[in-house]
A and B are shown apart, each in its own frame.
Chain A
Amino acid sequence: MAIIERPTPALTTPAPVVVTAESSYGVFRRPVHSTGWRSWVFTIDHKKLGIMYGVTAMFFFLLGGVEALLIRAQLAGPDGTILSADKYNQMFTMHATTMIFLFVMPMVAGFANYLLPLQIGARDVAFPRINAFGFWTLLFAGIFLNTSWFLGGAPDGGWFMYAPNSSVPFSPSNGVDFWALGLQIAGLASLTGALNLIVTVINMRAPGMSLMKMPIFTWMALVVQFLLVFAIPVITVALFLLMFQRSFDATFFSVEAGADPLLWQHLFWIFGHPEVYILVLPSFGIVSEVLPVFSRKPLFGYPFVVFSGAAIGFVGWGVWAHHMFASGLGPISVAVFSISTMAIAIPTGVKIINWTLTMWGGKLKFTTAMLFAIGLIIEFTIGGLSGVTHSVAPSDTQQTDTYYIVAHFHYVLFGGAIMGFFAGLYYWWPKIFGKMLDERLGKWNFWLMVIGMNLTFGPMHIVGLQGQPRRMYQHTEARNGEGFFNIGFWNLIASVGAFIIAIGVLLFLINVYKSHRKGTPPAPLDPWDARSLEWMTTNPPKEHNFDQIPTVHALDEFFHRKYEDRGTEDHHDYHQVATAEDVIAEQEANADAHIHMPSPSYWPFVVAFSLPIMGYGILYSTMLIIVGGAIALLGLFGWALEPSTAIESDYDPPPPDGPVSTEVVVSG
């Protein structure tokens, strides 16, 4: 954030500033460009970074989607031959890894980055440069991980990478090494991002915004960041042990040396289960924003939704072993984790009840965003209920590692996380880009995706209960059965469904293209009659977000500024008293005089760039480790020595008779 309140030089007569090499850093000037590629690469603006996170996530979504399509094409008929066993194993490993670590998590980071400061009335995040570092680190991790396809083969042990199958004798290519290193790098991105966002939300809320007046998306994102702070180190330990096992012959997972393969499973799932909530809670937040707007009612039971989110976050730490019901834990552990898993269904149920009651008595407008939100409620409910069936541990021993589980978590993740993202994209698109997405195309997009997902993942319940295990590169006629429940038929349907989803996603891209052609009108200031703070600024928001930091009086502050209650104590009667334009004009009129924004920087990019270099170094040459380490050290020192705001000499001299302004000194 860094709203730096200091007397602007503008108030005195600015002396003409000449940029000399001496006044900047060594031979480099600080990158202060506000246009062109440099304004993106070196930016530390949370909005630009949010967009870059989103674009990166979308790219990996498409990549993971292509991987999914290849998997479904292979399984469309018995004895598929499109992929070899080896390629298939790499494909499902990378599909999951890409979707989880390179699509959903960055997408969450994108939404959170973009929206959190806006929703809490701040001008940026607490540590803008760390924010930029997080993004670049993530991008480089994704690229690093995917270069494994061309360097001897992608990881092939499944995203859960159980030991000892991940050890060198069983997976001799470098794939698993790329995976272990790539995820450590990506973990660093998540961890720094999480620290940053927590501090932002805790410390930088606008005056008057108590915790219980925070927008619900901010709340859910906050819970998720806490989960990340505590979950990432656990997977880091696991990945570190794996890396040492593979690269330096450590024996952590060597059974012949006496190792216990269950160590990996515990470490992995202690991270892995909170991870599930890391993936879905933000979408719960998005939906909890979208539903009230299009129901024209506040979120029903806001405190219950907040606390259930926090409860899911807490209990989420005590259910990891339900991934291990068949792994040979004792019956006592199984029973305990079975019960805790059932317990977590309760706060989840609370959310669904509250969403339903939010709509109850409302004035529902079925925009595309609303449709996706409703889609989430229904699809997630189905996924949640199938989740209940395998919280029953004995029943789970029949279902685990079958397609029934695949069906379950795709209903939860596609039906939960992805539906929520699309609701958010349609809802906030005008805010972020100042253009409306086409509603007609949007509805096609929705229906194709929702029909596609049910065709894809619905039949997986059947084939799973009919005994088709996961991660098999072929299914054979001999074990497919006949008649209505036959595995072959439903696999074909699932494959058809996958391609329907693909068409739906394609329509989204077409929609984006269409709404950004030249000549499309700008979006209205407040297209949805929204309720929260992020709408109390221009579309897209100015670099400094708000001209005047708003003082918050209520949950749904923006709504209360537009509508006035003329009713009595128990009969409310709301009348519109102001438009968004009025509210924003008011803000502009009372603009804060001195707004200083932090300036762009090379160093986050430089430090992030050193990480994959060290990664390749561990795999190929010590020389590269040294080079990467040197770059990192250099970058960190540059970073430490650089003030957050550029000194005047880093800017080009202002035009001779340029306006002396109360305008913001932005740097970007």
Chain B
Amino acid sequence: MADVAVHEPTVHGDGPDDAHGDAHGTHYSSTGLSNNKLGMWLFLGSECLLFGGLISTYMLYRGRHSQNLGPDQLWDIPFTSSSSFVLLMSSLTMVLAVSAAKRGDDRNTKLWLSITALLGSLFVAGQVYEFTTFYREGLGYTTSLFSSSFYTLTGFHGVHVSVGIIMLMALVGMITKDRIHGDKAEVVELIGLYWHFVDIVWILIFTLVYLIPA
């Protein structure tokens, strides 16, 4: 058995500094993908089915409302389009943050992350405003099947955006205090993946819920 080769990891970490985090981007991995990234992709795959279920529920129930409180009476397409545009722009700033992080440019990373969070907050504020308006017009959460499933779907998405904002802000704070363990650029990229996913889901929701007539 003497010919059994001693295991030499194919890729080593660059040094002590990246030897932390729950998994190690630069450590030996069978696929070459980092554990964190693979984990995030799988998580987003799982999220697809979560939103899939909610969207299906909405599609089933979208027409079940009283005559004067349906999408036709409520939607303010220009407004929602603008807030969608804001969210889309936040994806762009996220990309800029990731590229700054890759360059190791902490200052710009923080800047772009903050702007992304700001745009995200704008979107959420828009959603809160929109919900308030609908509620004033009489569309409560329990008013109809349409309202229950609409608020649940968009609310769920809103919570995802809010969680993203919290993560972005925390990331800014952690970069400032230099408390990130592991590959900083990768952490930014992971949050970026999540952020883009949430954006893409919104494009889907916006199209199916707002643009396609019931």
Contacts and interface: CB of A to CB of B under 8 A. Distances in A.
A499 B80 CA distance: 63
B33 A598 contact: no
Given A5-B12, A195-B42, A550-B7, A596 B152 contact: no
Interface string A191-220: 100011011001111110100000000000
Contacts of A586: 1-2, 4
A127 B6 contact: no
B22 A598 contact: yes
A227 B152 CA distance: 25
B73 interface: no
Contacts of B142: 248-251
B23 A244 contact: no
Given A129-B22, A191-B46, A250 B7 contact: no
Given A207-B7, A263-B57, A637-B170, A199 B42 contact: yes
A549 B179 contact: no
A125 to B, nearest CB: 9
Nearest to A128: B22
Given A233-B49, A241-B152, A644-B181, A127 B23 contact: yes
Given A207-B7, A263-B60, A561-B1, A5 B148 contact: no
Interface string B135-146: 000000110110
Interface residues of B, number: 53
Given A126-B22, A196-B39, A643-B20, A203 B57 contact: no
B9 A203 contact: no
Interface in B140-183: 141-142, 144-145, 148-149, 152, 170, 174, 179, 181
B16 A6 contact: yes
A567 to B, nearest CB: 19
B150 to A, nearest CB: 11
A5 B19 contact: yes
Which applies to chain B's interface (DSSP): helix, strand, loop or mixed? Answer: loop
Nearest to A546: B7
A127 B4 contact: no
B76 to A, nearest CB: 24
A640 B19 contact: no
Contacts of B2: 586
Interface string B8-20: 1110110110011
Interface string B58-100: 0011001000000000000000000000000000000000000
Given A3-B27, A5-B12, A251-B142, 10 more contacts: A4-B13, A4-B27, A195-B42, A203-B35, A207-B10, A230-B46, A233-B53, A237-B50, A257-B145, A578-B1
Q: Which 9 A-B pairs have the closest CB atoms?
A: A237-B53, A233-B50, A549-B7, A203-B29, A233-B49, A4-B19, A643-B20, A250-B148, A126-B35
Interface of A: 1-7, 126-130, 191, 195-196, 198-199, 202-207, 209, 229-234, 236-238, 240-241, 244, 248-252, 257-260, 263, 267, 548-551, 561, 577-578, 582-583, 586, 590, 592, 596, 598, 637, 640-645
8 contacts: A129-B22, A199-B23, A203-B35, A207-B10, A236-B53, A252-B149, A586-B2, A641-B179
